[in-house]
Structure 1
């Protein structure tokens, strides 16, 4: 058999670069320890303000989010105050492996998150066998289509499923950890199976278990987290470390499968840390700044709805199984961002406001100005009035203090138009709020808003950090750390260059051009 792959790339979704370096230094991740000592490596940057939802579409297309259009699982509809659930097929631009395929290169693509199936590919593609938060949980898509049945017969289905619904008990956490490790081992076997078919120009596979464990188990990893449970950690250890060690082993095994001279890239996409942010407070803050009150009737209805549902779920002992099996997963999934029925019933009408919040995951808050000529019932005129409004709002937000730390709630307020230019800019938030995330946010205050107290209602204890890291072997770049950071959009043109294919009109630049 000939060369297995001309280029091998391994992705690790939301594996925190600080933990990788820390545990590698301590000898707990031997593969990454060797990579740090012998490979080229560097820090990667992701789309500012939008990286949680845009990192993988930007990786796949080589485009910034305002060009491919995807930044969140739910986005504001054009010319509307309503949001819609985004699908991977909404992403504009072509994944770079389609361009490679069209140029005659043979590609194997396995579980790249937030991407869609590419028809008529010169090779194979597996979508959502085992990824974090797919559009349709439990749905496997492949090209060719007949591949799905073969994969399920040989490797089974995703053993993890929706990680937001795990049982947060000793046994629940233990089972979750073990299922994640089992999925890593199965993904490794699956990847080896197809890699060993050989003659790939590019073989690309992505692991997502670090993403799942980071969201759900950060409180077990971090002894300073307010929800830390040392008793559970004593019994099962740190689930993050266990999953990272399984990933370390998987990377080592896959690298060992290819010829010693094969270029290999390993990307840890973005980071993870404690889920401390103020996004769940932002709409209340904006209402207070505009002196908009939520009607008492709507508040009472929302409160009654929530209370009555809780009471129905816990009527008596004979309904406990129903509560555990049906109500609790629904509550955890739909209440986790404090956005469901309560918000729908209590939220002031966006069309009557000067600005309003829009979805953007949780790491950065996002604000849309109700702009005349863009929104159906705009309140603020473009130009000088818009600038004055944004400046005043920025000042008001940066005046707010986290009462539990005495420090500003907001690190900075960014204007999206100062960061990005592209055809989708008009549908994006106007302002991005970077929170001071060093401590939990529950009680905030300023002269304009008074004291606002609220507790984050979600189940996730970990959330994302902006930077990732990468490693390169046999890339013609010198070993050691690169001085300059690398954009996630740079990998598409880099791989294309290694395969003598030009990617037209992308935002990224080949890493090889700058560092060889």
Structure 2
């Protein structure tokens, strides 16, 4: 019997490109799904959206509840970042007591740690973008069978590939190979049992968007016509491979199944001041001298070594972990963390299109030096003014579009660990950054990303099934809405969720 519900997830597949390539005939399986089902746009978590998108999806709650927007969380008692363990502080929707009577298979959902309570199959961290964990499965013995059938992740860390044509060509081939292996993996486990829910996520579109956007987009400041002659079609190739994987997966469902295709969030050109943001904050706070972060070049020289380690056996890789921590980014982060204890405010990571600022607040941070109340309010007022004075040196355009206080956002559950201010960058292409207070700062490119996300970007979903009402939804849905929607299709009412079941996807199936 086919799966009752099939969820085919894709990470950061840009909706505009989906529609364009549906119209050109390059994505026939998505075209058929859109034509016969309901579809709509998906709102992402504001400001924290990139790292919080999938946790919002699988928990049905916002970052205020699940506490995740990165794989690490700031600890005010030590002024350093610590790994999130478990990966998310709220259980996934399929772990509830009513789900124990349902058979579920969950494959490669981003930022989702292994669920020990699942009644079925869980595969975590095989071939995922931005993963820091080894493959894990439940049942545990599935891992050995999976590796024997489908091998190790052929990509590893996509950020570890240099920006040369030969390196990007190698990355392109590896991403396509990984789509094909995930397709085969999905088909194998989908065909192996009668599932109530089968959920599999592909995230090769995420890596492709980050690394190949400048080769697709001829207006991008980093566009290279010579490299684009051979690699300009890479993003489209990955999308076509995903569409074919969807087609292969749909062979295992029938007209009584509900099929849900979901792309979490979009992709576009990368415009941000993040590489020098903490240096900006240092200068605004009166610090001079060399910033520890400018040793990033040293960390970048280890990118090749890190990429190689991704292909090593787990035992050998774990043995080298202390070396990587001592000489890689972990060592750099320790130096940055040590300096911030002596500053009134400092940068906290959120994602590339927004920068977080943490106030070194007395009574909250161990080394706090800013008094709550009037002193803190005056500091934030001055800092906000200074940030709005930042300009692109060539055009004179402001580089800051918006500054939002976390106090104005519903993050009460984790406000002690979250940034106090969120700075959203404008879409200015930077030459250099200047203001009367900081002088001039040259931009520093520390990654090979030419594509990135923007808080205004939306995801997209298509749904088809016996109870689905076809057509475009008049209003966008939220990622939190999918947990109660999927649960309701199996007659399960999900308690304590911030989402609402999507009416067009149909009534509970019995």
TM over 0.5: yes
State the TM-score, normalizing by the size of structure 1.
Answer: 0.87
Q: Which of 119, 129, 132 pairs up with 2:129?
A: 132
- Whether 1:473 and 2:464 are equivalent positions in the alignment is yes
Cα distance in structure 1, aligned partners of 2:506 and 2:277 = 42
- Whether 1:450 and 2:450 are equivalent positions in the alignment is no
107-116 vs 165-174, which deviates more?
165-174
Corresponding residue for residue 494 of structure 1 = 485
Shift of 1:399: 2.3
Corresponding residue for residue 316 of structure 2 = none
1:363-378 to 2 correspondences below 5 Å: 363-378=353-368
Corresponding residue for residue 230 of structure 1 = 225
- Go from structure 1 to structure 2 and tell me whether the alpha carbon gap of 1:190 and 1:418 turns closer, same or farther (over 3 Å shift): same
Corresponding residue for residue 287 of structure 1 = 282
1:156-171 to 2 correspondences below 5 Å: 156-171=151-166
Corresponding residue for residue 473 of structure 2 = 482
- Whether 1:114 and 2:105 are equivalent positions in the alignment is no
Cα distance in structure 2, aligned partners of 1:220 and 1:463 = 14
1:175-254 to 2 correspondences below 5 Å: 175-254=170-249
- Go from structure 1 to structure 2 and tell me whether the alpha carbon gap of 1:449 and 1:174 turns closer, same or farther (over 3 Å shift): closer
Cα distance in structure 2, aligned partners of 1:302 and 1:154 = 42
Shift of 1:72: 1.4
Cα distance in structure 2, aligned partners of 1:410 and 1:27 = 40
- Whether 1:76 and 2:74 are equivalent positions in the alignment is yes
Question: Does the CA-based 8 Å contact 2:71-2:111 persist in structure 1?
Answer: no
Q: How many residues align?
A: 489
- Go from structure 1 to structure 2 and tell me whether the alpha carbon gap of 1:411 and 1:308 turns closer, same or farther (over 3 Å shift): closer
Question: Does the CA-based 8 Å contact 1:111-1:206 persist in structure 2?
Answer: yes
Shift of 1:425: 1.7
Could you tell me which runs of 5 or more consecutive residues in structure 2 were left unpaired when the two chains were aligned. 310-323
Cα distance in structure 2, aligned partners of 1:231 and 1:307 = 26
Cα distance in structure 2, aligned partners of 1:365 and 1:428 = 12
Deviations 1:30-80 (A, max 9, x none): 222333333211111121111121111221111211211111133311323
1:383-394 to 2 correspondences below 5 Å: 383-394=373-384
Shift of 1:189: 1.7
Cα distance in structure 2, aligned partners of 1:394 and 1:58 = 29
State the TM-score, normalizing by the size of structure 2.
Answer: 0.88
Question: Does the CA-based 8 Å contact 1:372-1:380 persist in structure 2?
Answer: yes
Corresponding residue for residue 320 of structure 1 = none
Give the 3-state SS of the residue equivalent to 1:285 in structure 2: helix
- Whether 1:440 and 2:437 are equivalent positions in the alignment is no
Cα distance in structure 2, aligned partners of 1:162 and 1:133 = 7
Question: Does the CA-based 8 Å contact 2:73-2:84 persist in structure 1?
Answer: yes
1:95-110 to 2 correspondences below 5 Å: 95-99=92-96, 102-110=99-107
Give the 3-state SS of the residue equivalent to 2:412 in structure 1: coil
Question: Does the CA-based 8 Å contact 2:469-2:504 persist in structure 1?
Answer: no
Give the 3-state SS of the residue equivalent to 1:427 in structure 2: coil
Deviations 1:229-266 (A, max 9, x none): 22122134411010011111112232342012311111
Question: Does the CA-based 8 Å contact 2:42-2:476 persist in structure 1?
Answer: yes
Cα distance in structure 2, aligned partners of 1:90 and 1:308 = 29
Q: Which of 495, 498, 512 pairs up with 2:503?
A: 512
Corresponding residue for residue 26 of structure 2 = 28
Give the 3-state SS of the residue equivalent to 2:496 in structure 1: coil
Cα distance in structure 2, aligned partners of 1:229 and 1:352 = 43
Cα distance in structure 2, aligned partners of 1:17 and 1:157 = 30
Shift of 1:494: 0.7
32-41 vs 270-279, which deviates more?
32-41
Question: Does the CA-based 8 Å contact 1:57-1:114 persist in structure 2?
Answer: yes
Corresponding residue for residue 168 of structure 2 = 173
Q: Which of 344, 349, 352 pairs up with 1:362?
A: 352
Question: Does the CA-based 8 Å contact 2:468-2:504 persist in structure 1?
Answer: no
Question: Does the CA-based 8 Å contact 1:366-1:432 persist in structure 2?
Answer: yes
Question: Does the CA-based 8 Å contact 2:159-2:448 persist in structure 1?
Answer: yes
8-17 vs 353-362, which deviates more?
353-362
Shift of 1:513: 8.0
